[in-house]
Amino acid sequence: MKLSSKQKQQARTAYLFIAFPLVIFGVFTFFPILFAFFISFFDWNLLIHDKPFVGLANYFELFQDRVFLISIKNTIVYTIGVVPIQTLLALVLAFIMNQKLKGRAFFRLAFYLPAVTSSVVTSIIFVWIYSKPGLLNYLLSLIGIEGTDWLTNPGTALFAIMALNIWTTSGYFMISFLAGLQSIPQSLYEAAKIDGANAWQQFWKITVPMVRPVTYFVIVLGLIGCFQVFDQIYVMSAGGPVNSTTTMSYFTYNNSFKFFRLGYGAASAIILAFIIFGATWLQKKYLPSEAY
């Protein structure tokens, strides 16, 4: 396509406008990604001048590293547990919040609040809730159950953090669904009512298919967020106890910044990137946003 001189001039102006953000993006996002890929082939210790090229040695070592394999398992368990529940919960919450309820504004705010609260703050609050004499165990004791210390029990720590994440993010995605719901024409519901559909049927046969593009968006963002989970782990469990909450990004952080092995950490970050890429590709293939 040939641009007229006016169009060319407009394009130039447009580039001028985005030039600075583009430079920022290049320097702080694009370059680091390429550079991480580059150093993953080196034994890269920031503090040692000699940074030998090791080829694929970091990658080979990773797949023999017990802790790394555990971190892959934990990350997948975390994602498989969190994404479906938070998506469904967000949709149900949005559906309820879309009805004409008393105090609707209050509930919308209450559900959205965790999403705008700093994850460090919510994590610390949940550290207290999950502690042995904490709120959760108090509630359990009312129904006669003696709880454990949720974050130092290797059997429960990961699930406790998953529950926290579901709570914080479902409110956030609720807003996305709410926007989607409000764009569904009311006439569809009216037609369904005339045909005798109850609320349950309306939800499954109209709401769910109509918000499918939003669901796609929510699942993609949810997948990426879950695969990269870091702050909750860092604050609440530091990967412990017994590596039961070591996720891939926590493993990357530890090796890069605590164990002086930037190349090794970069290699694990690259593998994480490929896993995320693969998961998103699978989703696009089997659960496309427009199916009808």
Partner 1 sequence: MLRKQSIWVILTTTFWGTIILFGCSSPQSNLLRLSSWVSSPSETELFKATLDDFRRQKPDLAFKYEPIPGNYSEKLQLMLGTRTAPDIFFLKGMTAPSYMSFGILNPLDDLISQSPNFDLDDFYPFALEAFQYEGKQYGLPKDFNPYVLFYNKKLFRDQGIDSFPSNWQELEMMSRQLTLDQDQDGKTDQYGFIVEPSIEMVMPFVYQNGGNFQNPDGSLGITDEPFIEALKFYHGLYKNGIATMAQDQGVAWNGDAFGRGICAMAISSGWLIPFLKDNYPDLEYGILPLPMGKQKATVAFTTAYSMPKATKYENEAWEIVNYLVGKDGMESWTKTGIAMPTRKSVAKANGFHDHPTFKVFMESAEFARPFQVQYSERGFEEVVVALQAIFYTEKEPRKAMEDIEAQIKKYRLVGSK
Binding site for partner 1 (CB under 8 A): 9, 13, 16-17, 19-20, 45-48, 66, 131-134, 149, 151-154, 240-243, 254-255, 257-261
Minimum gap (Å) between residue 261 Cβ and partner 1: 8
Amino acid at 72: I
Minimum gap (Å) between residue 35 Cβ and partner 1: 14
Question: Judged by CB, which is closer to partner 1: 47, or 194?
Answer: 47
Minimum gap (Å) between residue 233 Cβ and partner 1: 14
Minimum gap (Å) between residue 130 Cβ and partner 1: 10
- Cα separation, 45 vs 42, in Å, equals 9
Residue 157 contacts residue 241 (beta carbons within 8 Å): yes
List C-alpha distances in Å: 89 to 26, 53, 86, 174, 289: 37, 48, 5, 8, 19
Question: Judged by CB, which is closer to partner 1: 82, or 269?
Answer: 269
Question: Judged by CB, which is closer to partner 1: 19, or 199?
Answer: 19
Question: Judged by CB, which is closer to partner 1: 15, or 274?
Answer: 15
- Cα separation, 47 vs 50, in Å, equals 9
Helix (H, G, I), strand (E, B) or coil at 247: coil
Question: Judged by CB, which is closer to partner 1: 20, or 286?
Answer: 20
Minimum gap (Å) between residue 266 Cβ and partner 1: 14
Question: Judged by CB, which is closer to partner 1: 215, or 246?
Answer: 246
Residue 116 contacts residue 263 (beta carbons within 8 Å): no
Tell me which DSSP letter residue 289 carries: S
Minimum gap (Å) between residue 16 Cβ and partner 1: 6
- Cα separation, 292 vs 281, in Å, equals 20
Counting Cα atoms < 13 Å in the Cβ hemisphere of 216 gives: 17
Burial class (CB in 10 A: 0-12, 13-18, 19+), 206: middle
